[in-house]
Amino acid sequence: MTSSMRKHILWLKQEIQSWTDEGIISSDQAQQLSARYNAITTDNPWGKVIFSAIGALLIGLGVILFFAYNWEAMHRFTKLALVLVAVIIAHGAGWHLSFRNATHDAIHNKNSQAQSSARLGESLHLLGSILFGAGIWLIAQIYHIDEHYPNGILIWSLGALAMAWALSSSLQALLAMALIGFWCGAEVFDFRRDLDWAPWVIAALVMPLAWRKNSPLLMFFSSVLFLLLLFFVSVFNDFEMVVHLLFILAVGFMSLAKLVPAFRRAELSGVLYGVGTLVYFSLLFAFTFTGVITDIYLNQVNTLALVMYLLLPLCIVLGIGFVVWRQREQLLPSSIDRIDASLKFLTLIAFMGSTLLTNSGMPAILFNVVMFVHSILYLLSGMEHVRWQRVAFGSFILALLVFVRFLDLFDSLLLRSLSFVLLGIGLFVIGILFSRQKASQEVSQHG
**pLDDT tens digits, 54-78:** 666 677 667 666 666 666 666 777 7
Cα-Cα-Cα-Cα dihedral of 215, 216, 219, 222, to 10°? -100
pLDDT bin (cut points 50, 70, 90) of residue 287 is: very high
- How far apart CA 131 and CA 60 sit, in angstroms, is 6
Asked if 263 and 247 touch (Cβ cutoff 8 Å), the reply is no
pLDDT of residue 41: 44
Cα distance between residue 352 and residue 205, in whole Å: 29
Percent of the chain with pLDDT over 70: 76
Residue 194 has pLDDT above 60, yes or no: yes
Q: Which of 98, 154, 159 is nearest to 128 (CA)?
A: 159
DSSP label at 97?
Answer: I
Which of 18-27, 114-123, 437-446 comes out lowest in average pLDDT?
437-446
Amino acid at 401: L
- 377-413, pLDDT tens digit by residue? 999 888 888 888 888 899 899 888 888 877 665 555 5
Phi, psi angle pair for 55, to nearest 5°: -60, -40
Alpha carbon distance 245, 304 (integer Å): 14
% the chain with pLDDT above 90: 32
Question: Residues with Cβ < 8 Å from 424, sequence gap 6 or more?
Answer: none
Ramachandran angles phi, psi of 156, nearest 5°: -60, -45
Name which of 329, 348, 333 is nearest 287 in CA terms: 348
Instruction: Identify the H or E element spanning 165.
Output: helix 150-167
Q: Which residue has the higher pLDDT, 123 or 219?
A: 219
Of 287, 308, 180, 293, nearest in space to 245 by CA: 308
- Residue 40 has a pLDDT of 45
Range scoring the smallest mean pLDDT among 67-76, 196-205, 283-292, 429-438: 67-76
Q: Is a pLDDT exceeding 80 seen at residue 274? A: yes
Other C-beta atoms within 10 Å of 167: how many?
Answer: 22
Give the pLDDT band (50/70/90) at residue 232.
confident
Tens of pLDDT, residues 145-184 = 777 889 999 999 999 999 999 999 988 999 999 999 999 9
CB 275 within 8 A of CB 227: yes
Encoded amino acid at 97, one letter: L
pLDDT of residue 172: 93
DSSP-derived 3-state class of residue 31 = helix
Q: Which residues contact 198 (CB under 8 A, 6 or more apart)?
A: 180, 184, 187, 229, 233
Instruction: Please return the burial class of 165, using the count of CB atoms within 10 Å of its CB with bins 0-12, 13-18 and 19+.
Output: middle
The DSSP line for 367-417 is: HHHHHHHHHHHHHHHHHHHT-HHHHHHHHHHHHHHHHHHHHHH---HHHHH
Given this model, what pLDDT does residue 57 score? 65
**How many Å apart are CA 38 and CA 443, to the nearest integer?**
31
Q: Cα separation of 117 and 125, whole Å? A: 12
